């Protein structure tokens, strides 16, 4: 973002710079927040250059705009001078193609190399490009505490390969590979799983169970940080949950009671062993709604901390936890295995 800011600030002519990702909320929590910090560090007032409604910033003679590729009007809309796609491995190739066609100048792509995707098949060897491989060591803004947390995961081979060394990951390291994209089946009975966050996001997944075909349908409904109980209540009600059952993380009984007091049909999950839940989920085909962007990311990146010991990494799996809370409650697996903790 620093480079784009400097380009906009130093340009004598008006430039339109588009910053996009799979969804606008992702940009608001990441790239947009970074730009606001850069603006403040340059002694400028964010409120004087930001249009909140349009998600645009007027920097010098130029405009930096933010939007998600789920907004088809923007994808197929007016041209721009510079394009930056953040975490492009979660953006569909057709969206990239349409955006790139409408870009007069340079296109920047960034991604964590969790797996091979359209960049490797449609850009490499077909378009003129320059590849820059960087790691956390190239990020001068990381604190010592952040570096320590990253390096503490060196024993997770697949995670370290991607996020530590910046090399292409191996998808076979993902715990749940038995999923595919598909529309949510509203003809089935459904309910919701809810995982509470403190520093992490509150995450809610809509779940339907198709016993006849051994299928689970998962659809991301909520993935948001820093909400009060009141805000969480309103966010859940805005999803039109009505009287449908919500199975929530049993680690936050007080929050469950508060939500119940606001009229939600919610109860705590009866937790079993995490490995029993994984074995249960692997017996089913999981159908993921195509617009469930954060859920897709979690499924692609949830790996074993110790595969031989069957210990999964306990991070970035908030929506997965929400999905399994409801799924295990409805399917009611019988726990037979010992020695692994409940999560």
User: How many Cβ atoms are within 10 Å of 141's Cβ, its own excluded?
Assistant: 8
The pLDDT of residue 153 is above 90? no
pLDDT digits (tens, 9 = 90+) for 14-36: 999 999 998 888 899 889 999 99
Over residues 242-265, the mean pLDDT reads 95
pLDDT-based confidence at residue 334 (cuts at 50, 70, 90): very low
Give whichever of 29-33, 125-129, 217-221, 316-320 has the largest mean pLDDT. 217-221
Strand ranges inside 105-225, DSSP E: 107-109, 179-181, 190-195, 202-210, 215-224
Q: Which residues of 241-257 are buried (b: 16+ CB within 10 A; e: fewer)?
A: beeebbbbbeebeebbe
pLDDT of residue 172: 54
**For 219-223, 299-303, 315-319, 338-342, which range has the lowest pLDDT when averaged over its residues?**
338-342
The pLDDT of residue 337 is above 50? no
- Nearest alpha carbon to residue 83 among 1, 30, 21, 19: 19
Q: Quick one: how far is CA 27 from the chain centroid?
A: 11
| Cα–Cα distance measured from residue 192 to residue 212, given in angstroms and rounded to the nearest whole number | 20
pLDDT of residue 236: 96
Q: What is the pTM of this model?
A: 0.61
The pLDDT of residue 168 is above 80? no
pLDDT of residue 82: 98
Helix (H) / strand (E) element for 338: namely: none
The pLDDT of residue 170 is above 70? no
pLDDT digits (tens, 9 = 90+) for 78-105: 999 999 999 998 899 999 999 999 999 9
pLDDT-based confidence at residue 9 (cuts at 50, 70, 90): very high
pLDDT digits (tens, 9 = 90+) for 182-210: 899 999 999 999 999 877 899 999 999 99
pLDDT of residue 241: 94
pLDDT of residue 26: 83
Over residues 157-167, the mean pLDDT reads 83
| Cα–Cα distance measured from residue 195 to residue 318, given in angstroms and rounded to the nearest whole number | 6
The pLDDT of residue 324 is above 70? yes
pLDDT-based confidence at residue 343 (cuts at 50, 70, 90): low
* Domains, the chain, ordered by start: 2-132 (3.40.50.300), 138-169 (no CATH), 179-331 (3.30.420.280)
Supply the mean pLDDT for the chain: 89
């Amino acid at each position: 973002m620093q480079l784009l800011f400097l380009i906009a600030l130093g340009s004598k002519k008006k430039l339109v710079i588009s910053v996009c990702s799979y969804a606008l909320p992702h940009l608001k929590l990441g790239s947009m927040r970074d730009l606001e910090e850069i603006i403040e560090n340059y002694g400028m007032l964010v409120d004087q250059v930001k249009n909140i409604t349009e998600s645009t910033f007027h920097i010098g003679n130029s405009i930096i705009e933010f939007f998600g590729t789920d907004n088809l009007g923007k994808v197929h809309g007016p041209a721009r001078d510079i394009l930056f796609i953040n975490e492009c491995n979660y953006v569909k190739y057709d969206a990239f193609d349409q955006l790139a066609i409408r870009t007069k100048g340079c296109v920047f792509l960034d991604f964590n190399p969790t797996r091979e995707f359209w960049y490797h098949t449609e850009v490499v060897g077909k378009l003129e490009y320059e590849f820059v491989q960087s790691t956390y060591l190239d990020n001068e803004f990381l604190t010592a505490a952040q570096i320590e947390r990253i390096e503490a995961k060196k024993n997770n081979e697949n995670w370290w390969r991607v996020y530590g060394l910046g090399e292409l990951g191996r998808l076979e390291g993902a715990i749940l590979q038995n999923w595919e994209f598909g529309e949510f089946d509203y003809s089935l009975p459904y309910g919701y799983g809810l995982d509470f966050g403190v520093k992490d996001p509150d995450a809610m997944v809509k779940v339907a169970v198709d016993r006849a075909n051994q299928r689970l349908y998962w659809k991301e409904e909520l993935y948001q940080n820093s909400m009060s109980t009141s805000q969480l209540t309103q966010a859940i009600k805005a999803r039109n949950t009505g009287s449908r059952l919500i199975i929530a993380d049993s680690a936050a009984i007080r929050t469950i009671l508060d939500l119940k007091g606001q009229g939600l049909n919610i109860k705590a999950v009866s937790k079993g062993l995490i490995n029993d839940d994984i074995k249960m989920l692997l017996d089913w085909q999981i159908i993921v709604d195509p617009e469930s962007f954060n859920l897709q990311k979690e499924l692609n990146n949830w790996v074993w901390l110790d595969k031989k010991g069957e210990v999964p990494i306990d991070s970035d799996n908030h929506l997965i936890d929400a999905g399994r809370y409801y799924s295990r409650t409805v399917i009611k697996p019988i726990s037979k295995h010992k020695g692994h903790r409940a999560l």
